[in-house]
Amino acid sequence: MKHKTSYQEGSVRKRGRKYYYRFRMEEPDGTMKMHEFVGTESKRETEAMLKKAIDEYNDLGKLLDPGDITVSELMDEWFRTEIEPSSRATTTLDSYRNVMDHVRNHRIGKLKLKEVTVEALQAYVDEKYFGEYDADGREIKHAYSESTMKEEFVVLNGIFKYAVYPKEYLKSSPMQHVKKRKKPKETDIFGDESETVETITHDEYREVIEFLSTHKNSYGDDYRYMVLPVQISYYTGLRAGEIAGLCWDDVDIPGRRLVVRRSMFKDTGTKCWELKVPKNGKQRIVDFGETLAGILTEAKAQQERDRKLYGELYQKHYCQIQSIKGRQHNMIFTDIHTETGIIGSRVGHGKLLEEADNKMKLLPLEFVCKKADGEMVTIQTLKNCNKVVQDNLKTIPFHMHGLRHTYGSNMIANGANFKDVQELMGHSDISITLNTYAHVNEKTRKRAVDLLEKGLAH
């Protein structure tokens, strides 16, 4: 049964620094009794809380009571009970944790749930959208990227939906009234109208390969182990994690194709290098040409020579599938002789074989990209490759991800079908391919115009 009351039956009064609101509610014996609740230091906010409470009481016949739980406390409970047990990827969980740190370190995280208003939430997201500035207009805090703001909304919506159900702390989520902002685009009215993707020419690629093949760092270590990842990226467009996770079982040299089955990443929770499915969640086949076939043939032969040269000191890698807190972890463990004296360096790459569960199966891993002693090449190795080339070949706009764009650009410029490029590169949607490489299609557009001109001339 719903209880009839009205806003006029309530009142607001100040006691000390805070305002309190009160109104009559029906007792179990049918009598009406005045109940008082703490508000805020703002009379206007407290009046709004009074109206909200009366509306809620009219609608439900009771008040939903969140108690003294804060936004941060609710957020931690939501993450622990709703998110951690889910099938979300580890990288997704890390991005959620990052957003949670933003909320926790902001004044809004310290608010009690019953004190949260739409205005406070809107102010929080606006601050993240546009950054913070002092009285003189100087930037204090940078604005967040569009991708980070999407994550902010996912987390905030999740928290307050959880407060509505199953917790029943709130009647409805205040986030439903918070607006997403559209940032004004900064445009250069005197610049190039087309957006460009950083790519390199074939001559620049050969210069990079030549440098990595012949130079050493200040410690006398050569860069040759960086050559093969660069070559694979240039001729296949694989992502860095996919290159690091590529095994010889995935490669068919005579058939000139490889299967992208897995990607390598560092799990921040286990502090271990692990394997996961590729970015869009499914495997794909990537065909390659005679040039890369020759490169891979020689690389495999060289690794066999290295294995014989290093003997027992040659590093071996294994994958062990473990279940931690209900989530599957495809963990990489390395078999290495500690007497080599390079254990400190190796630990930074993951975990030792001795740390694996001796009751569980170990699957051997034969990585395509590795150092002469068998040490695996990780995405951190490839980040180091970026730095090495950028520091030494300053005129070349080199980046491993740029090689992926170079591959896609070369395919489109030489007449490849956009659908084929999408499948080869593993884009989840063809719009990604179209948006990324539309500007590269200039050569094929001009070719189409030339064909039109020739046709009309007859």
Q: What is the dihedral of CA 248, 239, 361, 375, to 10 degrees?
A: 70
pLDDT of 224: 94
Identify the residue with better confidence: 176 or 90.
Answer: 176
Mean pLDDT of the chain: 86
- The torsion region of residue 198 among left (phi > 0), alpha (psi -120 to 50) and beta comes to beta
pLDDT of 290: 96
Alpha-carbon span 316 to 376, nearest angstrom: 9
Taking alpha carbons only, the member of 202, 200, 223, 201 closest to residue 213 is: 223
| Res. 29 pLDDT band, cuts 50 70 90 | confident
Q: What is the CATH number of domain 71-177?
A: 1.10.150.130
Residue 153 scores a pLDDT above 70:
yes
Using one digit for the tens of pLDDT, what is the confidence trace for 301-343? 999 999 999 999 999 999 999 988 778 899 999 998 665 545 4
Residue 106 scores a pLDDT above 70:
yes
Residue 105 scores a pLDDT above 70:
yes
Displacement of CA 10 from its chain's centroid (Å): 49
Lowest mean pLDDT among 14-18, 318-322, 389-393: 14-18
Alpha-carbon span 71 to 65, nearest angstrom: 14
Residue 1 scores a pLDDT above 90:
no
Alpha-carbon span 371 to 378, nearest angstrom: 11
Displacement of CA 414 from its chain's centroid (Å): 32
Q: What are the strands of the beta sheet with 11-15, ordered from one edge? A: 11-15, 18-26, 32-38
Residue 346 scores a pLDDT above 60:
no
Alpha-carbon span 413 to 149, nearest angstrom: 34
Residue 345 scores a pLDDT above 80:
no
Q: Whats the size of the chain, residue-wise? A: 458
pLDDT of 137: 78
Across the range 85-104, mean pLDDT stands at 89
pLDDT of 344: 44
Residues 6+ apart with CB under 8 A from 345: none
**Residue 147 in tokens:** 């991708």
Using one digit for the tens of pLDDT, what is the confidence trace for 374-387? 999 999 999 999 99
Select from 3.40.50.720, 1.10.443.10, 1.10.8.50, 3.30.360.10 the CATH code of 202-405: 1.10.443.10
pLDDT of 360: 93
pLDDT of 275: 94
Q: What are the strands of the beta sheet with 257-260, ordered from one edge? A: 251-252, 257-260, 284-287
Chain region(s) in the chain for CATH 1.10.443.10: 202-405
| Paired strand residues for 334 | 317, 352
Alpha-carbon span 368 to 101, nearest angstrom: 38
Across the range 256-261, mean pLDDT stands at 96
Q: Can you tell me whether residue 416 is helix, strand or coil?
A: coil
| Paired strand residues for 21 | 12, 37
Q: What is the pTM of this model?
A: 0.67
Percent above pLDDT 70 for the chain: 88
Using one digit for the tens of pLDDT, what is the confidence trace for 57-78? 888 777 777 778 899 999 999 9
pLDDT of 336: 82
Across the range 342-363, mean pLDDT stands at 74
Across the range 340-349, mean pLDDT stands at 47
Q: Can you tell me whether residue 412 is helix, strand or coil?
A: helix
> What is the residue whose two structure tokens read 């990226």?
233
Please return the burial class of 9, using the count of CB atoms within 10 Å of its CB with bins 0-12, 13-18 and 19+: middle
Radius of gyration of the chain (CA): 30
- Residue pair 9/23 in contact by the 8 Å Cβ criterion: yes
Chain region(s) in the chain for CATH 1.10.150.130: 71-177
- Residue pair 246/292 in contact by the 8 Å Cβ criterion: no
Using one digit for the tens of pLDDT, what is the confidence trace for 185-238? 665 555 544 445 588 999 999 999 999 999 988 778 889 999 999 999 999 999
Residue 100 scores a pLDDT above 90:
yes
pLDDT of 194: 46
Alpha-carbon span 292 to 306, nearest angstrom: 21
Alpha-carbon span 380 to 8, nearest angstrom: 65
pLDDT of 193: 45
Residue 234: what are its φ and ψ, rounded to 5°? Answer: -65, -40
Taking alpha carbons only, the member of 162, 423, 173 closest to residue 280 is: 423
